[in-house]
A = this chain, B = another copy of it.
Amino acid sequence: MPDRLSRNPSTSPADTPTRRQRADARNNRARLLQAARDAYALDGTDVPSSAIARRAGVGAATLYRHFPTRDSLIAAAFAEQFGQCIATVDEALKDDDPWRGLRTALTKVCRMQAEDRGFSAAFLAEFPDAPEVRRERARAESGLARLIQRAKDTGQLRKDFDSSDITLLLLANNGVLQDSPAASMAASRRLLAYFFQSCRPTDDTPLPEPAPLRLDDLYRAPRRTG
């Protein structure tokens, strides 16, 4: 029961859903999530679970009790940031200027990737297929599609822009991340600037075929080290 995909602690601090949970358990759970976020942000999601447990000051068994599998810990640790990404799209849709909205949304997400390498990896590859996540993702996808169409309609976005280019950008952005968040931010900024430049409708040179990438590919692709 741990972890209906991660009963978000901040959501309902006082709820007693099915049964009583002991205070120390709740506490440990929170510390594990924090430790995981810290460790992942620094070194990526391939740090050993034992390191997370140690960092949180609990035994390995306690970690496993709260998060039966390695992936469930990763998913729970980044659930909040994942939600932020989704929300970013909703917010972008509210912008009067769709192109500005799109840019802002992409900038935010790329920044989140650059700031937290662990999140970037999790965002790209390790999120669970829980139906709720799937639904959110679909919503974000359709929101992006609408945003793209609007930006094209206002003539600010080149007509041969494809929604797969969003995926392309996020993958590329993940690729340029470095060890230090500062270096990652700089690289990400530069990449994004290049990208935005070519998004403008400059008629003379058409782009080649879009890549066969859908947003789903972000989550399915084994992001191998090589």
Interface residues of A (CB under 8 A from B): 40, 43-46, 117-118, 120-122, 124-126, 164-165, 168, 171-176, 178-179, 183, 186-187, 189-191, 193-195, 197-199, 202, 205, 207-213, 217, 221-226
Copies of the chain in the assembly: 2
Q: Contacts of A205 on B, CB cut-off 8 Å?
A: 193, 197
Contact A202–B211 (Cβ < 8 Å): no
| CB contact under 8 A between A176 and B175, given known A209-B186, A211-B187, A226-B121 | yes
Q: Contacts of A124 on B, CB cut-off 8 Å?
A: 226
The residue on B at minimum CB distance from A209 is: B186
The DSSP consensus for interface residues of chain A is helix
Q: What are 6 A-B interface contacts by the 8 Å CB criterion? A: A46-B225, A168-B187, A171-B175, A171-B176, A197-B202, A224-B225
Q: Contacts of A207 on B, CB cut-off 8 Å?
A: 190, 193-194, 197
Contact A172–B165 (Cβ < 8 Å): no
Looking at the assembled complex, report how far the CB atom of A162 sits from the nearest CB atom of chain B, in whole angstroms.
8
